Amino acid sequence: MGIYVHLIDFDPPTVLFKFVDRRGLNLSRGQERSVEQLYFREDFARIPGMAIEEPVRLPDLLPQYRRRMLKDIDLETISRAGFRIVVGYPLPLIEKALFPPCFRNCVAG
């Protein structure tokens, strides 16, 4: 299991914690409940806020992510076959991460 920590752009003090399985996929609802139960038991040591370091910024993250995600996808074949790709995620994130360089002929909406 892993954890994805994300600072919310439009709400800087908000931090999103997303737990994923060992393949990087979302947990099932049952697995989420198990994590929540462990959290609410509060069987863990708390650290003072001063001990939390600044977030690490990864300026090349989007291009690296895009390259690795698309390395095995043949966009030409998908386009020739007339298939459509449906991506379900908040639109600003998709536009920022994928649309400009990868799906030039797609219309977001």
Same domain, 43 and 8: yes
pLDDT at 30 over 90: yes
Pick the residue with more confidence: 31 or 85?
31
Q: What is the pLDDT of residue 33?
A: 92
Measured distance CA(101)–CA(95) in Å, rounded: 9
Domain assignment present for residue 31? The answer is yes
Number of folded domains in the chain?
Answer: 2
Alpha helices in the chain (DSSP H): 29-41, 61-70, 75-80, 91-97, 99-102
Same domain assignment for residues 39 and 70: no
Is residue 4 within a helix (H) or strand (E), and if so which, with residue range? strand 2-7
Q: Please check whether residue 87 lies inside any domain of the structure.
A: yes
Look at residue 108 in the predicted model and tell me its pLDDT: 45
Q: Residues 60-88: pLDDT tens digits?
A: 877 787 788 778 778 788 888 887 766 66
The answer to whether residues 40 and 71 belong to one domain is no
Asked whether residue 71 falls in the same domain as residue 97, the answer is yes
**Residue 41, domain extent:** 2-51
Same domain, 47 and 8: yes
Residue 80: helix, strand or coil by DSSP? helix
Query: What pLDDT does residue 96 have?
Result: 64
On whether both 72 and 38 belong to a single domain, the answer is no
Q: For residue 49, report the phi and psi dihedrals to the nearest 5 degrees.
A: -55, -30
CB 15 within 8 A of CB 7: yes
